[in-house]
Amino acid sequence: MAIKRLSPGKRMSEGVVHGDRVILAGQVAVDGPASIKGQSEQVLKQIDELLAAAGTDKSKLLFAQIFLADMADYAPFNEVWDSWIDPANPPARACIQSPLVRPEWKVEVQVTAAI
């Protein structure tokens, strides 16, 4: 079965398509100083773009893993998430607090979707 890599780089690919699934790398905001809502919007937009490049969309999400640098951001993140997610097709989801690689990052989201 063929493997398609999305935006492959030296260390990683932004996503990998194999069979009927795409696994995206954790997405973080490009504008680090933005608020949690601003960073969340950026991250979800990037996910939309990568899913489109893989030939799918958020209605086919299977699983999402959310990393928050501070659980105090859980409610504002969910405001953005709830306005973005397809309410008829919500994925399985996990959310944890974890320090992120850069201190300005507030959220990282990794998803798996069906094609």
pLDDT in tens, 31-71: 889 999 999 999 999 999 999 999 999 999 999 999 999 99
- Which CATH code fits 16-114? 3.30.1330.40
Please name which of 107, 49, 54, 114 lies closest in space to residue 81, comparing C-alpha atoms.
107
Alpha carbons 43 and 11: distance in angstroms, whole number: 20
CB atoms within 10 A of CB 45: 14
Residue carrying the six token digits 């299977």: 62
**0.85 cut: is pTM over it?**
yes
Domains of the chain: which residue ranges? 16-114
Residue carrying the six token digits 């990393």: 67
pLDDT over threshold 90, residue 1: no
Q: What are phi and psi of 53, to 5 degrees?
A: -65, -25
